[in-house]
Structure 1
C-alpha cells in the first residue's frame, strides 16, 4: 500500500499553481505517487508515478475532475499496479454495454430461462443503451440515471405507471455496476438507492385505491377461452404455464404453489397440493 505524502494539495492549491514558460510538476500527495503537470498552455494534468510507470488519469477541471477524484483514481490504479494487474487491458471493459454483456452471460451460465434473459436485454437496451451504452460506468452518475428513470415513470397514469418496469430496471443496472465494484474499478455502487426515489408498486396502488386484480372467471365459455389462449401462448415460460395449470386444478394459494416440494404431494393417496375432489 502506498505511503501518505507530506504534500496535501487541494483544489484551491491547484488553481493557484503558477503558469510558467516551461512545463513543471508538483507533488499532490496522498497517495505519495500522485503528481500534477502544469503546462505553459495553462492545462494541469494529474499523473501517477510508480517505479518506471507513469499514468495520466485526467486533466484538472474545476467542478468536473477534482483533486478528490484524482486521488480516488490514483488509489485504484496503484492497487492494480501493486497487484501486478494489466493496465493495458481492453479499454472498453468498463463501458456500460460491456459490463451488461458480462451480467447477461452470467445469467445464462446459471441456466435461467432464455425468455427471461431476453426480457432483461430488451428493457435495458431500450431505456439505458441509447444514452449510456458506450459510456464508462465511472462517468455515469446517480443523477444521470435518475433523469432517465423520471421519464419512464408515469405518476398520473394510474393504470400504466411503469413502476414495475422501473424497479426491475434499477435492479439490472445495479447488478451491472456491481461487477465494476467487485473489480475495484469504482468505489461504491449508488444505484440501489434509486429505488427510494419512487414508490413501490404496492404503495402506489394503495395511494390511488387501485385494485388490479381480475374478476373471477365463472362463465364456462370464458374459462374455456382462457385455457385455449394459455395453451397457445408461446412466450410464457413453461414452468410458469404449468404453475397456472396447477392453480386452475387445485385452487391453491399462489405462494403454496411456487414453494411446493414433491414431499408435499402423495400421488397414490391423491393427497396434498393436488388433492382431488371426490
Structure 2
C-alpha cells in the first residue's frame, strides 16, 4: 500500500523506530521523537544499502518518489546510486549522531544520563566531526578529535566519549551508510591510560575518630545524618543524599533504590539495621517536606552530593564520601564476610537476569546481607557507645 498525505498525517510515533513503505524500497522512517525522514533501501555492487533524502515535510512525498526514481535510473545505467559531488546531509556525522541518539536515548530509563552522553559528544568532538561526511571519517580522524581530551588529562572521560562514538558509528554501519566502524580500529594504545586512583578512606582503626566527629557535633545537622546513612548502607554519595521516604519500607526493614537511580536494569534493595532505623525519627524531624530524607537548602531538592565530602575534609578527616564505602567494605572483609556478599552490598553484583523478587534476592545475597549489615551497624553502635560513655 503506497503512502498518501492522509496516511502520513495519521502516523503517530511509537516507542521504537517504525518504517512506512511507499514501494520500490522507499519508506518514511518515523522516530520516537516524532521526526520523519525519507529512506531508500537498494542493492549496489551486491550489497544492501540505505540512502537518506531528508526530513518530511521538508521533502514532500512527490519529491521523495522523484529521488527514488532518479537513484533507480542511475543504478540501471551502472552509475553510482549517489552522486558523490552532491553534499548529502544524511551522511554528516552530526545528523547521524542525532538519529542514533534519538533511538538510543528513547530506550534509556535515565534521561539525565543520556543527556550527559550527548553533552559530552558536543563539548568534545562535535566541532571536529559534526560537519564531516561519515564515509570520509577514518580511525586517524577519531584519534585527532579525541587528542584534545588526552592533552587535558581527562583520560577516563575520553574513554567514555570514545565508547559513545563507537555506538553512533555502529548505527551508521547498520544503516548502510558506511561499511566499517572507524572507532573499532582505534586501539587502547592510541592514548595514555588513566591511572587507577583509590578514593581516600579511613582505616578501620580510625572509625572511632569518625564517630567522635559525628557525635561531638563537629559534623552536625542533616550532613551528620547523611554520613551515617551512607556509611551504614554502603551506597554512593548521590544514592545516599537522594534517598526518598517513599522507598523506605519499615515493615520489611529495607530501602529499595529504584533502577533509574542505580542506572541498572533493576533496583538495589538494602537491608536496614536497627541503628539506621533508630535514626529515622531524627532525620524526619529535620524535614519540612516528605520527599527526600536529606533535604537541600532550595525548595524541593535534596542535599548536594558534594556536601558530605567537603564536610569530612573540613573536619580534618582523610576520607572522601566514596571512601566511606571502602571503610565499610574493609571492616566487613576483616570480619570474614565473603567477597561476593560484600560486593553485592556495594551493588557490584552481576547476577540475576530474572527480575522476579525471589530470584533477585537470591542473586544479590540478600539474606546474607541482612546479617552483614546488622554486624556493621553493631560495630558503629559499639564505637558510638564507647565515645558517649
TM-score, normalised with respect to structure 1: 0.53
Conservation of the 8 A alpha-carbon contact between 1:174 and 1:189: yes
Alignment CA distance shift 1:264-1:183 (3 Å): closer
Give the structure 2 partner of residue 165 of structure 1: 157
Aligned to 2:342: 253
* 3-state DSSP of counterpart to 1:194: coil
Determine the structure 1 residue equivalent to 2:368: 272
Mapped partners of 2:154, 2:103: distance in 1? 27
Deviation at 1:195, TM superposition (A): 3.8
2:75 is matched with 50
1:162 Cα deviation after fit:
1.3
Cα 1:225/1:195, change in 2 over 3 Å:
farther
Give the CA deviation at 1:233.
5.1
Give the match for residue 215 of structure 1.
201
Alpha-carbon distance in structure 1 between the residues aligned to 2:268 and 2:199: 18
Partners of 1:199 and 1:111 lie apart in 2 by 31
Equivalents in 1 of 2:184, 2:109: separation in Å?
23
Trace 1:121-160 onto structure 2 (pairs within 5 A).
121-154=118-151
Q: Which has the higher contact order (CA 8 A, sep 6+)?
A: 2
Matched-pair contact (CA < 8 Å) for 2:121–2:161 = yes
Q: Which of 223, 238, 256 is the equivalent residue of 2:261? A: 238
* Superposition RMSD in Å: 4.1
- For the residue of structure 1 that corresponds to 2:200, the secondary structure is coil
Which structure 1 residue ranges, 5 or more long, are not aligned?
1-30, 32-47, 60-87, 155-159, 206-210
Instruction: Tell me how far 1:240 sits from its aligned partner.
Output: 6.2
* Counterpart Cα distance in 2 of 1:240 and 1:174: 20
Q: Return the alpha-carbon distance in structure 1 between the equivalents of residues 370 and 153 of structure 2.
A: 37
Tell me how far 1:93 sits from its aligned partner. Answer: 2.1
Give the CA deviation at 1:199.
Answer: 4.2
Task: Summarize the Cα distance change of 1:224–1:109 in structure 2 as closer, same or farther, 3 Å threshold.
Answer: same
CA deviations 1:105-129 (Å, max 9, x no partner) are: 2223323311210110111010111
Alpha-carbon spacing, 1:49–1:263, altered in 2? closer, same or farther (3 Å): closer
Q: Are the equivalent residues in 1 in contact too, given 2:110–2:261 (CA < 8 A)?
A: no
Q: Secondary structure at the match of 2:98?
A: helix
Give the Cα separation in 1 of the matches to 2:126 and 2:193: 25
Q: 1:172, CA displacement in angstroms?
A: 0.9
Q: How far, CA to CA, are the matches of 1:130 and 1:264 in structure 2? A: 44
Contact 2:128 2:145 survives alignment (8 Å): no
Contact 1:171–1:192 under 8 Å retained in 2: no
Which residue does 2:62 correspond to in 1?
none
- Is 2:90–2:96's contact at 8 Å kept on the other side of the alignment? yes
- How many pairs align? 187
Decide whether aligned partners of structure 1 residues 161 and 225 sit closer, same or farther in structure 2, where only a CA change above 3 A counts.
farther
Q: Structure 1's 170 and 244: CA in aligned 2 closer, same or farther, altered over 3 A?
A: farther
For residues 272 and 133 of structure 1, the distance between their equivalents in structure 2, rounded to whole angstroms, comes to 51
Distance in 1 separating the partners of 2:262 and 2:165: 26
Give 2:93's match in structure 1, choosing from 79, 83, 96: 96
